[in-house]
Amino acid sequence: MKNSKSVSGFTLIEILLVVAILAILAGIVIIAVNPARQLGQANNSRRQADVTTIINAVYQYALDNGGSLPSGIDSTVGSFQVLGTAPSGCDTTCGSFTTLPACLNLSGTLTPTYIVGIPLDPQSGTVANTDYYINKDANNRVTVGSCDPQLSAVISVTR
């Protein structure tokens, strides 16, 4: 009769299979979680570029017009204007900023000489409401920013 010993434990192959399965699951979780963050970062990069493009066009206009900014940009402190063509409803779409009800249409002033077209927010912008705001303060400094950036970012440029 054979003498058989019963040995309990895991074989090397079983351990390697478990480690491989855990590595695959970890890879899937990392891939599943990161795209939203990466998309948000990409959208915010686009917003930063758009804001810079708008403020550069405004100041290029001012240089060509004796220092005068485009008409319609108000200087009311704390009251921002959303860029777009909509005559109303622009005061409800800009996050925590106080904006005027009517959008400010700069397309006829800035396009095509200073900018090809007024940029639109990559996530929610339309021609009627671009989701970018502009304001001039008492010292004639202009602020252009994004209404609804992602990932709790603050995107604005003041010059």
Q: Where are the domains of the chain?
A: 13-158
pLDDT at 3: 61
Q: What is the pLDDT along the chain (159 residues), one digit of tens a residue?
A: 556 667 788 899 999 999 999 999 998 888 877 888 889 999 999 999 999 999 999 999 999 999 999 999 987 877 899 999 999 998 887 877 788 999 999 999 999 999 999 999 999 999 999 999 999 988 889 999 999 999 999 999 999
Give the angle 88-91-93 at the CA atoms, nearest 5°. Answer: 110
Global pTM value: 0.80
Q: Which residues pair with 104 in a beta bridge?
A: 83
Q: Which residues pair with 145 in a beta bridge?
A: 133, 156
pLDDT at 33: 76
With 0-12 / 13-18 / 19 or more C-beta atoms within 10 angstroms meaning exposed / middle / buried, residue 20 is exposed
pLDDT at 139: 86
Distance CA 50, CA 118 (A): 9
Q: From the centroid of its chain, how far is CA 100?
A: 21
